[in-house]
Chains A and B, each alone.
Chain A
Amino acid sequence: DVKVTQSSRYLVKRTGEKVFLECVQDMDHENMFWYRQDPGLGLRLIYFSYDVKMKEKGDIPEGYSVSREKKERFSLILESASTNQTSMYLCASSEGGKNTGELFFGEGSRLTVL
């Protein structure tokens, strides 16, 4: 069964802390994505990566960075967490190329910043 695994389902952090959200996929997918989901706003793209060590900004990259050192792993980093980054974070992957294929999602990481 294909799988995208997000290491932490629930996190509580304090303002100013550095936060790492990890995502691993076992489908040998080229593309990986980080989305933020907020009520009434749908999913908004933070960053995506189409290859190892390659990354591109999405619609809301401010306050976030990413790392993709290995094909299967895509990490989202909040350098200094703020309360407005309290949200559900969803990782997704898809097959290579600028394709029209399905996105496979992890179960999400719900982050609360106090």
Chain B
Amino acid sequence: AQSVTQLGSHVSVSEGALVLLRCNYSSSVPPYLFWYVQYPNQGLQLLLKYTSAATLVKGINGFEAEFKKSETSFHLTKPSAHMSDAAEYFCAAVRSGTYKYIFGTGTRLKVLA
């Protein structure tokens, strides 16, 4: 069965430091992959998505993610963290031809001043 694993339920970084949030998927067929961000008391909004056009995907707010098939990974990065990046981040996958999006359990990012 397809699954999405996010390593680290909580990640803390200093303001200005690199942000790295990890996501691995488990699927015999590479799925389409997404990163969503959720700010407190809000719904999820799309940061970026991978749909096989390019392995390095750029998203909003300076985030990007790289699809690595050999590692079944889709890690999210940002070169320099900002206080406004503090939120919960979800990785999600969906196989082409299905309706079922599978979400990871989320990583809460804390940015330290």
- In the bound complex, residues from chain A placing their C-beta under 8 Å from that of B41 are 9, 107-108
- Do B104 and A42 touch across chains, with their CB atoms under 8 A apart? yes
Among B41, B42, B46, B101, the one with the most A-chain Cβ atoms within 10 Å of its Cβ is B101
- Interface size in chain B (residues, C-beta < 8 A): 25
- Do A40 and B51 touch across chains, with their CB atoms under 8 A apart? no
Contact partner of A42 (CB less than 8 A), chosen from B90, B96, B98, is B90
- Do A43 and B99 touch across chains, with their CB atoms under 8 A apart? no
- Do B49 and A106 touch across chains, with their CB atoms under 8 A apart? no
Stretch from A64-72, A75-83, A95-103 that touches the partner:
A95-103
B99-113 interface (Cβ within 8 A of A): 99-101, 103-106
In the complex, B18 has a CB within 8 A of chain A: no
- In the bound complex, residues from chain B placing their C-beta under 8 Å from that of A105 are 36, 43-45
Q: Which residue of A lies closest to B105 (CB)?
A: A42
Interface string of B34-67 (1 = CB under 8 A from A): 1010000111111001010000000000000000
Q: Which residue of B lies closest to A35 (CB)?
A: B103
Q: Which residue of B lies closest to A39 (CB)?
A: B106
- Interface size range of chain A in the complex: 20 to 34
Q: How far is the CB of A76 from chain B (nearest CB, A)?
A: 15
In the complex, B12 has a CB within 8 A of chain A: no
26 contacts between A and B (CB under 8 A): A33-B101, A41-B105, A42-B90, A42-B103, A42-B104, A42-B106, A44-B103, A50-B99, A56-B99, A92-B43, A92-B44, A98-B96, A98-B97, A98-B98, A98-B99, A100-B49, A100-B94, A102-B46, A103-B34, A103-B44, A103-B92, A103-B101, A105-B43, A105-B44, A106-B43, A107-B42
12 further interface pairs, Cβ-Cβ under 8 Å (given A41-B105, A105-B36): A40-B9, A42-B104, A43-B44, A48-B99, A56-B99, A100-B51, A103-B44, A107-B42, A107-B43, A108-B41, A108-B42, A108-B43
B residues with CB within 8 A of A: 9, 32, 34, 36, 41-46, 49, 51, 90, 92, 94, 96-101, 103-106
- A-B CB proximity, top 3 nearest: A105-B43, A100-B32, A42-B105
